[in-house]
Amino acid sequence: MATQVDVVAPGAIEADVLAVPVAQPTAKLDAAAAAVDARIGGRIAALASAGDVTGRAGAVVLLHDPPDLGVPRVALAGLGARERLDADSFRTAAAAVARAAGAFGGTVAWLLDDSIAVPLDVQAGAIVEGTLLGAYDPGRWKTGDDRRREISRLSIATDADVAAATRRAEIVARWTNRARDLSNEPPNMLYPETLAERATDVAATSDALTIEVLGPAELEELGAGAILAVGSGSNHPPRLIVLRYDPPGAPEEPVLGLVGKAITFDTGGLSIKTAGGMVDMKGDMSGGGVVICGIGALADLALPVRAIAVVASAENAIDAESYRPSDILTAMNGKTIEITNTDAEGRLVLADALWHTRQLGATHMVDFATLTGAMELALGDLYAGVFVNDDAWWKTIEESSETSGDKAWRFPLHPRYRRYIDSTYADMMNSSSLRQGSPALAAEFLHEFVGEGPWAHFDMAGTGFLERSRGDYLTTPGGTGYGVRLIAEVASRMG
Ligand code: BES
Ligand code: MN
Ligand code: ZN
């Protein structure tokens, strides 16, 4: 059962938990907390001066049976330092309340606070996102009763008009959690064919979505030699999944092209990974999951901009039929690639997918890929590294990143990185022999296949799949849905 989300007047709150924001320092309470405090005899101020209520980001103190409030519990939800409050402060606080409330199930209402320097519609959206993302339970395959309890209703309590922001955040958060479900699904269940089935389910959610799934025969026909080679060692042959969103009445252009890497499991192939390096490689399809759910979100939001999502899905497995180091492949655009490392498979499947997306008419492209271990080393789990060939397109992406919460940091795209992958025999190699600049040369590799027009490459190796809590509103290991919220923002700015 999904959490029901609504907006109610502060006088009409009915909930098991009433959440109230508290910023640091607590010597002076913000307006909402002060108003509640006045009604319950100063207990909040007393707890603040005793040091029980700190306002620390993510800290929650529950008051039981507060007098005269008409709710059984108040959750004092820490936002962090008052001078640095932003949407993330509310997302984190809401996630913490959701986990506290999840312990006994039931319903939550949140008071907004117009004395805090974050616009009320931003507060509302962030609370919805934080609650839905924070309550996410990755334990879908547990058979016992230790699953997380769902919050049945979330009410935003305010007189301000935040209905549109609330509704939008609800839609986007649901699609983000759906992308997390895809990332978390194990590789014995999720492989190219079943990922295509999941995408077909997404296409069925809107009349404006259509789907086409290309298998080995069609890929052969198209000359997609790169994705075919990567998938050749698996019993589960590759799929190129193409979803189109054509909202009625939308202009012919721009067309947003969304490209995703969906390696359903990455063993490294014959250039095999270590046992430790293979851990969590079910998450190597996260970029693909994010563009499937991203285009689902665009349709659900009824955004007036056309989009095409192309998901390159293969399993990088080990077998007598596996592609080898030294093989020379021809990609869909006719360029030849000498394989020097079968573990650099993501750029290969993306080569065909990027080119195909441009052929299908995308004017503005974005790709999402868990591409290089070095990007995870560089930026960890918070920021994705982004390579962009167009400054105006970067500006759109940077602004979308800031409002969506999917953080992005620009990295350099420079043609002189191309020399790292110059090949003696073919147009390029798929990896360098030097342990240098791995994310940047991978981006230069992809650049060979994007055709003309704006393009941005998101290396989300660190942000797509967590080993542990990120310490904010993403508190469970596993898929994050990184990119879904950003895609919705980018498309909103285009249409
Ligand atoms: N899927 C991996 C990258 C990755 C590593 C993602 C860790 C998330 C966490 C990718 O296919 C890969 O193996 N990249 C290699 C490329 C190298 C062989 C040139 C890498 O980065 O080590
Ligand atoms: Mn790999
Ligand atoms: Zn990979």
What are the tens digits of pLDDT across the range 314-335? 999 999 999 999 999 999 999 9
Is residue 73 annotated as a catalytic residue, yes or no? no
Per the structure block, which two tokens stand in for 480?
């994050």
Could you say which of 91, 168, 180, 347 is catalytic?
347
Is residue 39 annotated as a catalytic residue, yes or no? no
pLDDT at position 495 is 83
pLDDT at position 146 is 75
**CB within 8 A of 451, min separation 6: which ones?**
333, 354, 355, 358, 359
Q: CB–CB of 322/311 below 8 Å?
A: no
For the residues 140-160, what does the mean pLDDT come to?
90
pLDDT at position 68 is 86
Residues around ligand 3, an ion, CB closer than 5 A: 263, 266, 284, 346
| Phi, psi values for residue 182, rounded to 5° | -65, -45
Residue located nearest, by CA, to atom 16 of ligand 1: 344
pLDDT at position 1 is 67
- Return the ligand 1 atom nearest residue 370 CA: 6
Q: CB–CB of 68/42 below 8 Å?
A: no
pLDDT-above-90 percentage for the chain = 96
Could you tell me the pTM of the whole model? Answer: 0.98
Tell me the pLDDT tens digit for each residue of 176-231: 999 999 999 999 999 999 999 999 999 999 999 999 999 999 999 999 999 999 99
| Phi, psi values for residue 21, rounded to 5° | -75, 140
Q: CB–CB of 325/218 below 8 Å?
A: no
Q: Are strands 4-8 and 151-157 parallel, antiparallel or unpaired?
A: parallel
pLDDT at position 343 is 98
Cβ–ligand 1 contact at 370 (below 6 Å): yes
pLDDT at position 147 is 77
For the residues 469-485, what does the mean pLDDT come to?
98
For the residues 131-149, what does the mean pLDDT come to?
90
Report the C-alpha gap between 19 and 93 in whole angstroms.
9
Cβ–ligand 1 contact at 341 (below 6 Å): yes
Cβ–ligand 1 contact at 464 (below 6 Å): no
Burial (CB count within 10 angstroms: exposed 0-12, middle 13-18, buried 19+), residue 334: exposed
Cβ–ligand 1 contact at 336 (below 6 Å): no
What confidence category does residue 59 fall into, taking pLDDT thresholds of 50, 70 and 90? very high
For the residues 145-151, what does the mean pLDDT come to?
79
For the residues 287-304, what does the mean pLDDT come to?
98
For the residues 249-269, what does the mean pLDDT come to?
98
For the residues 340-352, what does the mean pLDDT come to?
99
Considering every ligand atom shown, identify the ligand nearest to the alpha carbon of residue 438 and give its number: 1
What confidence category does residue 376 fall into, taking pLDDT thresholds of 50, 70 and 90? very high
For the residues 1-29, what does the mean pLDDT come to?
95
